[in-house]
Amino acid sequence: MRWRSPRPLLLFLSSFFVLSVGAATDDAGFRICAYNVQKYNATKAKDYRVRHTLTRIVSRCDITLLQEVMSPEAVRPLLASLNRESDRYDEYEYQSVSSKSLGNSPKDMQQYVFIYRADRVNVTGQHQYQKKESFVREPFAVHFQSDKTAIKHFILVPLHTEPRQAVQEIDRLYDVFVEVSKKWNNTNVMFLGDFHASCAYMTRANRKNIRLFSKPGFSWLIGDKVDTTVSDMTSCAYDRIVVHGTPFLKAIQPFSAKVYNFAKEFKLTKAKALAISDHLPVEVRLKSSAPLLQATPLLILLSVSAIVQHFLSAL
């Protein structure tokens, strides 16, 4: 019997391994992001450098919450940039859902804006919290549904607190939780945004006055020591992500909650990063609904190794 070199087989299997690991690491999961874009108005949206960088940031995420959006006109150029014909962005269609303008001052009215990939997630409901004198910018809850995630239905609740009222407003998120979970009969709720939940605005001693700490079932995914600011002069975990319930927590990829340092990733100077915002985005990834994408590289490696040993023993 003529001996045949296993090299073609090994090349094929190694290629399979690389592709499989790529699928398991690069494409697995569903990314949710939150970013305070700091007075994002129509004038700022017309700045090509700002819009280009913001497009790159948002295009990484399946859902992005933008805060401090000062006018609807500011969102349209960003959506147009995301949906333009190009090799980088052709894969997805982006849509948005926005709150009304919120605030106490005509000069500082802001919107919460969710930008999402319409082919991966659907908006099935929205609710503007309206209890007077609870918040300066009342949370705007959105109910999402996706077949791409391990958890199919979930609620996102944004909050950009008034800094000097941060402790009181974060505490009142519990009242929002009660209202929206009853409205949609769903306790899979995620709170996200610029809470000012750090440094002088919220201390460790304040936790006893915040029900999202004292009530069971709430998990804070961005730690106290994480720096969500751009400036070297500050190191504060202002921006947070909090989830309720064991099912939602189990649907999150472990250790995926983090800050996205786009300045470092895109090799931008501090000045160019600060032109967009003095905050950094925060993000978390939900597990994919596809079983193959839940496989870890180690599991794939063991499987490929077993196949290789089987074929080599048969030669």
Give a yes or no: residue 9 inside a domain. no
Q: What is the CA radius of gyration of the chain?
A: 22
Q: Tokens in use for 197?
A: 């939940």
Burial readout 265-294 (b: 16 or more C-beta within 10 A, e: otherwise):
eeebeeeebeebbebbbbbbbbbbbeeebe
Is residue 150 in a domain? yes
With H, G, I as helix, E, B as strand and everything else as coil, classify residue 42: helix
- Domain presence at residue 259: yes
CB within 8 Å of 12: residues ≥ 6 apart = none
Q: Say if residue 145's pLDDT is above 80.
A: yes
Q: What pLDDT score was predicted for residue 288?
A: 92
What does the angle CA 284 – CA 287 – CA 293 come to, to the nearest 5 degrees? Answer: 130
CATH classification of the domain holding 74: 3.60.10.10
pLDDT, one tens digit per residue, over 213-237 is: 999 999 999 999 999 999 999 999 9
Local confidence band at 98 (pLDDT 50, 70, 90 cut-offs) = very high
State the residue for tokens 């030669």.
315
Question: Which residues is 143 bridged to in the sheet?
Answer: 125, 155
pLDDT of residue 291: 55
Counting the structural domains of the chain, the total is 1
Whether residue 12 lies inside any domain: the answer is no
What tens digit of pLDDT does each residue of 266-285 get? 999 999 999 999 999 999 99
Q: Quick check: is 33 in a domain?
A: yes
Q: Tell me whether residue 155 is in a domain.
A: yes
- Average confidence (pLDDT) over 9-37: 59
Q: Is residue 211 classed exposed, middle or buried when 0-12, 13-18 and 19+ CB atoms within 10 A define those classes?
A: middle
* Mean pLDDT score across all residues of the chain: 87
Q: Tell whether 56 is covered by a domain.
A: yes
Q: In angstroms, rounded to a whole number, what is the distance separating the alpha carbons of residues 56 and 59?
A: 5
Q: Report d(CA 116, CA 160) in Å as an integer.
A: 19
Residue 90 confidence class, pLDDT cut points 50, 70, 90: low
> Containing domain of residue 205, as a range?
29-286
285: CB partners within 8 A, 6+ apart: 28, 29, 30, 31, 32, 252, 253, 256
Question: Which pLDDT value is given to residue 224?
Answer: 97
Q: Is residue 22 part of a domain?
A: no
